[in-house]
Amino acid sequence: MRVLVACEFSGIVRDAFAARGHDAWSCDLLASERPGNHIQGDLLEVINDGWDLLIAHPPCTYLTVSGNAWFNVERYGQKAIDRIFLRHEALGFVLRIYYSGVERIAIENPIGYLSSAFRDPDQVIQPYYFGDPERKATCLWLRNLRPLEYRLNNDLFGAATAVEPNIVTRVSKRTGRTFTYSELEYKASMDHENRAHLRSKTFPGIARAMAEQWG
C-alpha cells in the first residue's frame, strides 16, 4: 500500500508502516529527523499523487481549546484578529486534506476548534491506551477507516493494550496550587524553547496500532 504520513518530521508513523512492508512516505516542511522516505515540502503539492492511505497531523497551534483566550478581540485587539485569520487558515488546511479525494484518511489533532467548526471526531484516544504511559487526548477524524481498537483491561477477548499513565504532581511555589502532568508534559514544560516540538511527536504505540490495524 502507498501510505503518506503528512505533517510528520519524526518519521514515527512512516516507519511503523514501512516495518510492515508498505511503501510509506512522510511529508513535512521540515526535514525528517531520521532517515527514511521523506518529501520535504508542501503536502498540498503531493496530496493527489496516488496514495492509498493518508494520515495527517496538521498544525494545531491555532486550533486548540487551550489557546481560546487569545481570540478575545476586546482584550487583545489586532493580535486577536490576526489569530482569527490564522485559525481559519488552519481550518482550511484541514478541510483541504479531508476533502482531497484520497480513499482512506485519518486526521489527528487535539480537542479544539475542529469539533465545532468541522465536526466531532470519530474517536478520542490516549497514548496510554496503546502502551505509552502518557496522557494526551488525541482526536481522530476518519474517512473509510475503522476507529483504532484498544483494550483498557484484560478480558475474555485478550490482554490489555493499555498501561497506567505516569503522573507527576508539582505544587507551585508562587500560588501553592497543585498541578498534575504526565511525564512528557512535565519534561516539555521545562524546555520552553522546544516545548511544542517535543509535544507534537506521535507516540510509538499509536503509530504501531495504526500500521497494524489500517495497514
Ligand X SMILES: C[S@@+](CC[C@H](N)C(=O)[O-])C[C@H]1O[C@@H](n2cnc3c(N)ncnc32)[C@H](O)[C@@H]1O
Residue in 19, 21, 29, 212 binding ligand X, rule: CB under 6 A:
29
Alpha-carbon radius of gyration of the chain = 18
Nearer to ligand X, 167 or 198 (CB): 198
If binding means CB under 6 A, how many residues of this protein chain bind ligand X? 18
- Cell 492509498 appears where? 52
Do the bridges between strand 23-28 and strand 38-40 make them parallel or antiparallel, or are there none, so unpaired? Answer: parallel
Which part of the chain contacts ligand X (CB under 6 A), choosing from 16-24, 42-50, 70-78, 94-102?
A: 42-50
- Give, as one character, the DSSP assignment of residue 29: S
Which part of the chain contacts ligand X (CB under 6 A), choosing from 21-29, 98-106, 164-172, 177-185?
A: 21-29
Cell readout for 192 is: 520552553
Q: Which of residues 122-141 bind ligand X (CB under 6 A)?
A: none
Nearer to ligand X, 7 or 148 (CB): 7
94 to 123: interface string for ligand X, x by CB under 6 A:
------------------------------
Which part of the chain contacts ligand X (CB under 6 A), choosing from 7-15, 116-124, 141-149, 162-170?
A: 7-15
Residue in 4, 8, 106, 139 binding ligand X, rule: CB under 6 A:
8
Could you tell me which of 50, 22, 25 has the C-alpha nearest to residue 36?
25
Which part of the chain contacts ligand X (CB under 6 A), choosing from 41-49, 68-76, 149-157, 174-182?
A: 41-49
The minimum distance between CB 169 and ligand X, in angstroms, equals 27
* Cross-strand partners of 141: 107
Whole-angstrom distance, CA of residue 168 vs CA of residue 36: 35
Cell readout for 157 is: 477477548
Q: For 95, how many CA atoms within 13 A lie in the half-sphere containing its CB?
A: 12
Nearer to ligand X, 44 or 160 (CB): 44
| 173 CB-near residues (< 8 Å, 6+ apart) | none
- Give, as one character, the DSSP assignment of residue 35: S
Which part of the chain contacts ligand X (CB under 6 A), choosing from 57-65, 75-83, 155-163, 179-187?
A: 57-65
| 19 CB-near residues (< 8 Å, 6+ apart) | 211
- Cell 516540538 appears where? 197
**What does the binding site for ligand X look like in residue numbers (CB under 6 A)?**
7-10, 12, 27-30, 42-44, 57, 59-60, 200-202
